[in-house]
Amino acid sequence: MVSARQFRKDHIDAYYASAIFKYKKEFAVKFRDVCTFVCQDDKHTVKIGEPGFPVAAVERGRKVLVGLNQSMQVGDHDFTKFSLSLSVSFVVDIPQDMEGSFYDGQVYVGLKENVFEPSSAMRHACELNEVLSAEPDNKPVECHYHDGGPDHNIRYPRTQIVQLAYFLHRDLDQLILVQTPPHHSWKNPAERVMSNLNLGLQGVQ
């Protein structure tokens, strides 16, 4: 389900970004035998409690279920020292034609501790290299799709340098990078994974 607040957002490049994504999918379908289609996204930070000091599994202002004769003795999210970030890499099973689904494939989720393993363009590239190296066949063409966050924004020189190094390390023939326009991250197929992750994390302190 797309957040209602995103429907009120618009961007001057929304049409062009959607068109480029469509052309990219058509390219992947046409050259599916030599192409790998990957969607990436980071989930919101997950706060972690400490031994003897659990943390409520909901954000501030939300309600939780408590037993009739029990008290809610847990900390809120403002009193945590540890947090994890979940990085999702979605390797799409490219359909035979454009009528097929781009929401089938293999999902890989990486956990990073935010203090000692902060997210960066280099870390994402290394994680993706490990993911694709485990695939049965490494294809010479890769298509990447992600949002415009600071770790993936292809307009940033540091991201361009990392992607160039990734291209050379993977010995690719072609690397195609496309990102969503601002306020339109819901277009990313990797966002479909987040609801399942939310279910898995529900009630975790």
For residue range 178-197, list pLDDT tens digits in order: 888 777 777 788 877 777 77
Q: Which two tokens stand for residue 137?
A: 């066949």
Residue 46 pLDDT: 73
What architecture does CATH give domain 4-201? Answer: 2-Layer Sandwich (3.30)
Q: Which two tokens stand for residue 40?
A: 């990436």
- Higher-scoring residue by pLDDT: 76, 156: 156
Work out the average pLDDT over 138-153.
Answer: 86
**How does pLDDT run across 67-122, given as a tens digit for each residue?**
677 665 666 656 667 777 788 888 999 999 988 888 888 888 888 887 788 888 89
- Higher-scoring residue by pLDDT: 155, 183: 155
C-beta of residue 71 within 8 angstroms of C-beta of residue 125: no
Q: Which two tokens stand for residue 156?
A: 């940033």
- Cα–Cα distance measured from residue 96 to residue 70, given in angstroms and rounded to the nearest whole number: 56
Res 45 pLDDT > 70? yes
Work out the average pLDDT over 195-204.
Answer: 63
Look at residue 195 and give its three-state secondary structure. helix
Tokens 């089938």 locate to 104
C-beta of residue 40 within 8 angstroms of C-beta of residue 128: yes
Residue 78 pLDDT: 63
* Residue % of the chain over a pLDDT of 70: 77
Rounded to the nearest integer, the mean pLDDT of the chain is 80
Is the Cα torsion angle 58, 62, 66, 71 positive or negative in sign?
positive
Residue 1 pLDDT: 45
Contacts of 97 (CB under 8 A, 6+ apart): 29
What residues are paired with 23 via a beta bridge? Answer: none
Look at residue 2 and give its three-state secondary structure. coil
Res 151 pLDDT > 70? yes
Tell me the CA distances in angstroms from 14 to 133, 149, 179, one per residue in order: 33, 16, 11
Work out the average pLDDT over 22-27.
Answer: 92
Residue 4 pLDDT: 52
Work out the average pLDDT over 43-63.
Answer: 66
Phi, psi of 199 (to 5 degrees): -65, -40
pLDDT category at 65 given cuts 50, 70, 90 is low
C-beta of residue 17 within 8 angstroms of C-beta of residue 184: yes
What residues are paired with 143 via a beta bridge? Answer: 37, 176
